[in-house]
Homo-oligomer: A and B are copies of this chain.
Amino acid sequence: MLLSRDQAHYLFGVMRLGVGDSLALFNGSDGEWRAQVAAAGRRDGLLKAQERTRPQQDPPDLWLLFAPIKKARTDFVVEKAAEMGAARILPVQTAFTNSERIRRDRLQAHAIEAAEQCGGTFVPEVAELRKLDAVLADWPAGRQLIFCDETTVGARQTLRDAPSAQGWAILIGPEGGFSATERDRLLALPFVSRISLGPRILRADTAAVAAMTLWQSLLGDW
Contact indicator B206/A84 (Cβ below 8 Å): yes
Contact indicator A85/B198 (Cβ below 8 Å): yes
For this chain, the copies found in one complex come to 2
B contact residues around A42 at 8 Å (CB):
none
Main secondary structure of the interface of A (DSSP, over half): loop
Contact indicator A118/B203 (Cβ below 8 Å): yes
A210: nearest residue on chain B (CB-CB)? B213
List A residues 58-114 near B (Cβ within 8 Å). Answer: 59, 80, 83-85
The digit string for A163-176, where 1 denotes a CB below 8 A from any CB of B, is: 00000000000000
Contact indicator B200/A120 (Cβ below 8 Å): yes
Contact indicator B206/A221 (Cβ below 8 Å): no
B contact residues around A206 at 8 Å (CB):
80, 83-84, 209
Q: Give the contact-size bracket for chain A.
A: 20 to 34
B contact residues around A210 at 8 Å (CB):
84, 209-210, 213
Bound complex: CA A212 to CA B210 (Å)? 8
* A interface residues, Cβ below 8 angstroms from B: 57, 59, 80, 83-85, 117-120, 153, 155-156, 196-203, 206, 209-210, 213-214, 216-218, 220-222
